[in-house]
Amino acid sequence: MEDEDKSGARVLEHKRIVVGVTGGIAAYKTADLVRRLRADEADIKVIMTRSAQAFLGPLTLQALSGNPVYTELLSKGSDAGMQHIELARWCDLILVTPASANFMAKLAHGLADDLLTTVCLASTRPILVAPAMNREMWLAAATQENKQILEQRGVRFLGPAAGDQACGEVGPGRLIDTDDLFAEITAALAPGVLRGLEVLVTAGPTREYIDPVRYLSNRSSGKMGYAIAQAAAEAGASVTLVSGPVALAPPRGAEPVWVSSAEEMYREVMSRAHHCDVLVAAAAVADYHCGVPALRKLKRGGASLTLTLLPTPDIVKAVTALARRPFTVAFAAETENLVANAQNKLEDKAVDMIAANDVAANGVGFDHDRNEIEVLWRGGSIHLAKGSKQTLARRLIRIIAERYREKKDTA
């Protein structure tokens, strides 16, 4: 099972999780999540805001969690006024799902006028926030600024997903799937499976210039590679990210190295590969570069233009040929015969593992926030079902850690 560590113990067993629920139609999905968390023997305590209770009754979550549901900042009894401190110190993790724009704004600016915001401010535990709201509310400048503030403070955002919304509109703002939420919580509470290791990740496209203005490239956004770098850092690794040109902020905990061309990426990777433990080659490196780029912008002419293209260095093959080589994971972006082509690449490049995805499929791969991956190694494989790239990255890191340890144990 994916929610078990290598010893067979459940990752969530005896873990203490505070689940905060704010107002929104997606609040009903919390019931199934709480049920699943408790089935894995997590200890759950639920806090509901006043608005959340308009969408879901506290008795439902009380029955599913096996604990009383907290709804008031100041309760009656001997512990009146101390619940926020007790809950903040009791838990291993706080998850807010769904998280409204109002909750995000209050937490970003230190407002604490209900139990949930007060617990979040009083806690030093990890906070995971799963937003759900109208697309315009999510894209509003104020909401995006609040998100940036919270991320800078270490709050991790799960989603939102894009799609049909209860208001009838279509766009970003949907609560991510319960499967993804469950996987994110499990990953957040799992032990540091890469602790003490040096991990090198490549991400994004490369640019091979034809002249000072034009270049050859591809549709890679770098999102998958960046998610892998983030997941590796969360798993305790020391992470270096060699990135082509992308419009993404560097992941927390990863040291970025910026490159443009395949040749530059080759040099940076080879200068580090001999002393890293794991290489995840997620970059979409151009296979060819222009033999002699023009020094000035090429002008339009009446005749056709012929370019001489030469092969770029094969970074992965160069790494696996090293005497002291890292555990190497390559990516295979395919448009047909996914598994067969990935298997061929696994053997041809002599890598330890291949993560293959169909970039021609709708809604996944290049330019998208979601992916679906076939992971292959010699003697085994596993399918990572469609999910957010962040979720799949964390699942992939756990598989890499397991295969790395097995290889070390048998060496």
CA 118 to chain centre: 28
The answer to whether the beta carbons of residues 46 and 70 sit under 8 Å apart is yes
Per the omega criterion (within 30 degrees of 0), is the bond before 98 cis?
A: yes
The answer to whether 91 is a known catalytic residue is no
| Given 91, 120, 167, 276, the catalytic residue | 167
Cβ-defined contacts of 227-230 (< 8 Å, 24+): 227/251, 227/389, 227/390, 227/392, 227/393, 228/201, 228/203, 228/280, 228/282, 228/393, 228/396, 228/397, 229/199, 229/201, 229/203, 229/254, 230/254, 230/390, 230/393
140 Cβ partners below 8 Å, 6+ apart? 101
Transcribe 181-228 into DSSP letters. Answer: HHHHHHHHHS--TTTT-EEEEEESB--EESSSS-EE-----SHHHHHH
Beta bridge partners of 311: 288
Residues facing residue 380 across a β-bridge: 377
d(CA 286, CA 273): 20
* Residues catalogued as catalytic: 167
